[in-house]
Amino acid sequence: MRILVTGAAGFIGSTTAELLVAKGHDVVALDNLASGRAENVPVGATFIEGDCGDEQLVTSLGTFEACVHFAARIEPGESMKYPEVFFANNVASSFRLLNALVHTGVERFVFSSSCAVYGDQVEMPIGEDRSTAPHSPYGQSKLMVEQGLQWLVELGRLRAASLRYFNAAGGTLAHPENHNPEIHLIPIALDAAVGRRSHLEIFGNDYPTPDGTCVRDYIHVSDLAEAHALAITALADHAGLTLNLGTGIGSSNKQIVETVKKVTGRDFEVRYVARRAGDPAAAVASNGRAREILRWQPLESDLENIVTDAWAAYQSI
């Protein structure tokens, strides 16, 4: 299949593009390098440096049977300061991309959505039918694209899957998690373990969770990549899909700290500071629908395996 992968110079996009190349697809990798790195684009993919919202550019790339759309700004905190940037980059650019792709005849579209569409939910795990209530312009931007896609599907313009990832983590030697700026707990804890940061800050230890720290559902990037390949296939039988991608198992921030200390064999200072606005106490996926429809299993996402792979990848940077 000829597949366009946007955001293929980023963490999840590069890992997925590599898998799609390995599965024999003809992959065109489009990234404006706003936060990605050209060296992340896997060997075997054709790299085009450019913006996914550049309709002329996208049209000039020809016809694709499928597109996997990762390109986005990903920091919820920044979106609270500059919402207009997130709506322009994540929403407007997505629809310009879709406009170009639909006109050149794309058949299947897989969209990187997020558990951020759910906002603060009390009852765990969270199923796809739970009402959405994003807490940030970032989460709202993902929901807006999902909603537009639902119309395109309903009106027969294309087939689309919105994949709501929980916390992407882990890494491979070729594609470590290395965001700039880094906002995710495991790589930040690894920075503390090697002394690149003086200490690790945990936001809040008075949440209504077993140990008082926030609980999240960590999913290995390799499992996410596999789910995208399966979603492209599943769209042959389903015009529209909305699926959670998580393990169904919650890990607290304290558990992450303990696992990072155990895996690296290094101790570091942890400071518990005030809660951060907008952080839900817990976010854990119900993943039954993805397991059933995609025949997907998160095989790499045991927490110790995630941290072990993240540590190996971190040391390769």
Ligand X SMILES: NC(=O)c1ccc[n+]([C@@H]2O[C@H](COP(=O)([O-])OP(=O)(O)OC[C@H]3O[C@@H](n4cnc5c(N)ncnc54)[C@H](O)[C@@H]3O)[C@@H](O)[C@H]2O)c1
Residue 269 and residue 21: Cα distance in Å, rounded? 42
Alpha-carbon distance of 42 to 88, in angstroms, equals 28
Q: How many residues bind ligand X (CB under 6 A)?
A: 29
Kindly indicate which of the ranges 5-13, 147-155, 199-207, 254-262 contains the residues binding ligand X, using the contact rule CB under 6 A.
Answer: 5-13
Among residues 3, 5, 11, 246, which is the contact residue for ligand X, using CB under 6 A?
Answer: 11
Regarding 130 and contact with ligand X (CB under 6 A), the answer is no
Annotated catalytic, 314?
no
3-class DSSP state of 61: coil
Strands 46-49 and 26-31: what pairing? parallel
Does 7 bind ligand X (CB under 6 A)? Our answer is: yes
Query: Binding to ligand X by residue 52, rule CB under 6 A?
Result: yes
Q: How far apart are the first and last CA of the chain?
A: 32
Residue 167, interface with ligand X (CB under 6 A)? yes
Asked if residue 208 has a cis previous peptide bond (ω within 30° of 0), the answer is no
Categorise residue 163: left if φ over 0, alpha if ψ from -120 to 50, beta otherwise.
Answer: beta
31 in contact with ligand X (CB under 6 A)? yes
Q: Which residues pair with 29 in a beta bridge?
A: 5, 47
Residues 147 to 166 in contact with ligand X, rule: CB under 6 A: 165
Residue 112 beta carbon to ligand X: minimum distance, rounded to whole angstroms: 4
Q: Is 139 in the site for ligand X (CB under 6 A)?
A: no
Output the six-digit token pair for 19: 């898998």
Asked whether 70 and 9 are in contact (CB, 8 A), the reply is no
Among 20, 35, 79, 234, binds ligand X (CB under 6 A): 35
Q: Which of 74, 106, 200, 285 binds ligand X (CB under 6 A)?
A: 74
CB nearer ligand X, residue 70 or residue 237:
70
We find the least distance from the C-beta atom of residue 89 to ligand X, in angstroms, to be 5
Tokens standing for residue 7: 């955001």
Binding piece for ligand X, criterion CB under 6 A, among 31-39, 102-110, 153-161, 204-212: 31-39
- Residue 315 tokens read as 């040391």
Q: Among 112, 121, 213, 252, indicate the residue that binds ligand X (CB under 6 A).
A: 112
Are residues 68 and 6 in contact, defined by beta-carbon separation less than 8 angstroms? yes
CB under 6 A: which stretch of 55-63, 68-76, 208-216, 283-291 binds ligand X?
68-76
Q: Which of 118, 138, 165, 314 is catalytic?
A: 138
Task: Say how many residues make up the chain.
Answer: 317
The angle formed by the CA atoms of residues 67, 219 and 123, to the nearest 5 degrees, is 105
List CB contacts of 316: < 8 A, sequence separation 6 or more. Answer: 173, 176
Binding flag, residue 174, ligand X (CB under 6 A): no
Does residue number 176 form part of the binding site for ligand X (CB under 6 A)? no
* 12 contributes a contact to ligand X by CB under 6 A: yes
* Whole-number Cα distances in Å, 83 to 33, 80, 136, 258, 269: 20, 6, 8, 35, 34
User: Which CB sits closer to ligand X, 10 or 298?
Assistant: 10
Q: Which residues are catalytic?
A: 138
* Binding region for ligand X (CB under 6 A): 6-7, 9-13, 30-36, 51-53, 70-72, 74, 89, 93, 112, 114, 165, 167-168, 179
